[in-house]
Amino acid sequence: MFHLWQKNITTKIKIMKITLEEIKELYDLPFTTLIYRAQEVHQKNQDPAGVQLCTLQSVKTGACSEDCAYCPQSARYNTFVEAEQLMDKCSIVKSAREAKANGASRFCMGAAWRSLSSTRQFDSVLESVQAVDNLGMEVCCTMGMLTEEQAVKLKDAGCTVYNHNLDSSREFYSKIITTRTYDDRLETLSNVRKAGMEVCSGGILGMGESIDDRLKLLHELASLDPQPDSVPINALIAVDGTPMEGREFIDSFEFVRIIAVARIIMPKSMVRLSAGRTEMNDEMQSLCYLAGANSIFLGDKLLTTENPKQSKDYELLEKLKLHALDPNEARAIHAQSCAV
């Protein structure tokens, strides 16, 4: 079945359009065959022992006007998050230096905004981006909706990647967010591409969506042309005070299957094991690596919630004899698919 949508053309890989039906067939394969297929694609298209290490810093926390049902930073829910102003350049650079010293190659700045609406704050973000870029780190931002003009300014300041998740299927999206639309999301992704930044886009699993919703999300992501450079797969962290409070953690095998399908249909993308790793034991995370995940967030905190201890992550990588990917290696892998 592999040859149906993926065909070697000389040395380059041409991504064929995959249908939702084909994605469903993959998802329903016997687990052993699915993992085998994912490994086959992984070994051919990625450094099989490389894991990209990214660090997150929340540079503006809480008090967000949006109503994303999963998010502890929405002003509409009463959660543990305390709102903080936009961090200044010096504090951001200090945090980036620490991340670099700890082995991270990508520094991702997150802001709880609907969009970058204030000129003063946007100018401050541009200065911080430039300063982190000067440290020689790969700079990523995730700050809500962007116009094409803003995207160009961010890119010119040294931001190489923009994270903006589709989060779920088009149908399920309107059940978890009412303050913006799926098309708003797609438009920002298109502006990011037009500006020449890399696209990082993925979603969240375990919010009450069906398996079909998850596969439709993968179909949307894989149909972006070019495909996203990285695909973060988050497991919902059900935070008290949000409408998701008390929701059970996603089934491990359903999660691993999604990682494997993502790897098969987006062979050149970095597949990032994102939120929810504190709930996953070493065995489950190893299964995710086996299924084709090759990127994680390193550091004790995500934006506002906990992440595994860094020392614990390094211990597991060592046990599995996996190594940290340097930024150029990760970029070179994806560049091959973008050249087609």
For the segment 274-293, give every residue that binds ligand DTB (CB under 6 A).
274-275
141 carries an active-site annotation = no
CB burial of residue 158 (10 Å; 0-12, 13-18, 19+): middle
208: Cα separation from own chain's centroid: 20
167 binds, among ligand SF4, ligand DTB, ligand SAM, none (CB under 5 to 8 A by kind): ligand SAM
CB 175 within 8 A of CB 144: no
- Residue 295 pairs in a beta bridge with 52, 272
Degrees to nearest 5, angle at CA 69 with 63 and 74? 0
What DSSP designation does 306 have?
B
| 46 lies in the site for ligand DTB, by CB under 6 A | no
Closest CB to ligand SAM among residues 262, 303: 303
68 carries an active-site annotation = yes
CB 146 within 8 A of CB 116: yes
Closest CB to ligand SF4 among residues 59, 325: 59
Catalytic residue, from 140, 141, 159, 288: name it. Answer: 140
164 binds, among ligand SAM, ligand SF4, ligand DTB, none (CB under 5 to 8 A by kind): ligand SAM
| 57 lies in the site for ligand SF4, by CB under 6 A | no
Report in angstroms how near the CB of residue 43 gets to ligand DTB at its nearest. Answer: 26
304 binds, among ligand SF4, ligand DTB, ligand SAM, none (CB under 5 to 8 A by kind): ligand DTB
Tokens 């005070």 identify what position?
241
Give the whole-angstrom CA distance, residue 136 versus residue 129: 11
Provide φ and ψ at 235, rounded to 5°: -95, 130
| 280 lies in the site for ligand SF4, by CB under 6 A | no
CB burial of residue 339 (10 Å; 0-12, 13-18, 19+): exposed
Number of residues that bind ligand SAM (CB under 6 A): 17
User: Per the structure block, which two tokens stand in for 150?
Assistant: 């803003």
| 58 lies in the site for ligand SF4, by CB under 6 A | no
Q: Which residues participate in catalysis according to the annotation?
A: 64, 68, 71, 108, 140, 200, 272
Site residues (vs ligand SF4, CB under 6 A): 64, 66, 68, 71, 73-74, 112, 114, 144
